[in-house]
Amino acid sequence: MTAMKNNRSKLIGRYWRHSLLFASLLLALYSRSQADGGGVALHQVAGPYVVTVFIAPATPRAGPVDVSVLARDRADGRAAIDVEVFVRLRREGGIAVVGHATRGVTQNELFYSVLMNLPEAGQWELEVTIKRGKSEASVFGQLSVAAPRPFLLSYWRSLSLPWVVVTLFAMNQWLKGRAASRGEKRLTTHPTKLRCETPIDLSLCDSAQEGKK
């Protein structure tokens, strides 16, 4: 009965560990806007504000672009955290992308951020409007948007994963084969005793010694 209980607790423990690791994997997939990454695209004074606009990536490309805005009071330099921020990007041809920047999605809580999807490369006009009550102030600038990044580059980490694993597996098989050919198979297939000398010196020895003890 006790053995059954132990087994059950082992199984439940394993279940939780696996769940935790699975949750970790899901977390690893999650990504969100940088909110303050990239470089300064604009730094201007407008009305009662000093407005700094950050763009991530620093060299914007067609596709998702993170626009973060820091508005500070001109008088005392304190960050304005009770305003509304609107971002407008307009292409010369007439396409316009408008976004409402908020602090809800930002890493840096002093910043207002919005993820904007720029459909094409080229020169874009950037307009940021700060509203507090009925008063509003706007800053204007230019944004040079490069061609979109090839998807192979955008997802290089996910795409390279199989080849990393395959390389490690090939090394593993090669080392196993070499160990077997040197008559060291006994050591590699019975990792029941660990002996350490150096940081990665973990010789794996037979468990026969424990039987003798």
Residues 7-36 touching other proteins, rule: CB under 8 A, are 7-8, 11-12, 14-15, 17, 20-21, 23-32, 34, 36
> Which among 174, 171, 190 is positioned nearest to 182, based on CA atoms?
174
# binding residues, other proteins (CB under 8 A): 87
Q: How far is the CB of 28 from other proteins (least distance, A)?
A: 4
* Binding of other proteins by 183 (CB under 8 A): no
Q: CA–CA separation, 21 vs 83, rounded Å?
A: 41
Residue 106 token pair: 């930002």
Q: CA–CA separation, 52 vs 44, rounded Å?
A: 7
> Which among 58, 59, 60, 78 is positioned nearest to 70, based on CA atoms?
78
Q: Site for other proteins (CB under 8 A): which residue of 94, 104, 183, 199?
A: 199
CB-nearer residue toward other proteins: 121 or 179: 179
Residues 46 to 105: which contact other proteins by CB under 8 A? 50, 52, 56-58, 63-64, 70, 72, 77-79, 81, 103
Q: Site for other proteins (CB under 8 A): which residue of 37, 48, 99, 122?
A: 37
What is the per-residue DSSP string for 122-180? EEEEEEEEEEETTEEEEEEEEEEEBPPPPHHHHTHHHHHHHHHHHHHHHHHHHHHHHHH
Residues 132 to 171: which contact other proteins by CB under 8 A? 151, 155, 158-159, 161-162, 165-166, 169, 171
